[in-house]
Amino acid sequence: MRVLGVDPGLTRCGVGVVEGVAGRPLTMRGVGVVRTPADAELGLRLVVIEQGIEQWLDEYEPEVVAVERVFSQHNVRTVMGTAQASAVAMLCAARRGLTVALHTPSEVKAAVTGSGRADKAQVGAMVTRLLRLDAPPRPADAADALALAICHIWRAPAQNRLQQAVAQNRLQQAAALHASKPASHHASKGRTA
């Protein structure tokens, strides 16, 4: 599985591509940051992010795009910019028919470091170790994007099994409901007296 991880942000949008399957060594295919000028108009900044993500999608052709789920922060302005960049990443993926997976920061930290409260340095150190890199990717947004991709690769098999089990359960419930309806109700509809 090849996953493009996106750590959304208006000024620095981290992007990283990881390939592999759960239980096997993973390979980094690319890592970087899409940057926008802080003094530029918002619409232009979003266009720059879109163009950057489109370039990554063209070059690496991922199967899935894993985006950090935006959560409430104290700084509303920061969370709005993050949400807008996140929406651009999801739009780019959806336009191509790619699966979009959202992971919270604590899910990513727990998957990569074993602790949902890990700091950026710990995440960077584990990403470096897991991908057998010479040094942690800089800036931290780039390391976070790789961590998102790793998290998705490791969590996807369990999530898929869970989704299949839920779908199977719903199907069984629908079949049981249909079977419990009286057959005479269906047969009497077409008759006239």
Catalytic residue numbers? 7, 68, 141
| ∠ CA 159-163-165, rounded to 5° | 115
The number of helices, as runs of H, and strands, as runs of E, in the chain is 6, 5
Task: Report the distance separating Cα 72 and Cα 173, nearest Å.
Answer: 36
C-alpha 84: how far from chain center:
15
Q: Is the dihedral of CA 93, 98, 104, 108 positive or negative?
A: negative
* Contact criterion met (CB below 8 Å) for 142 and 17: no
**Token pair recorded at residue 35:** 């940057």
Task: Report the distance separating Cα 16 and Cα 119, nearest Å.
Answer: 19
Nearest to 62 by CA among 133, 144, 105, 6: 6
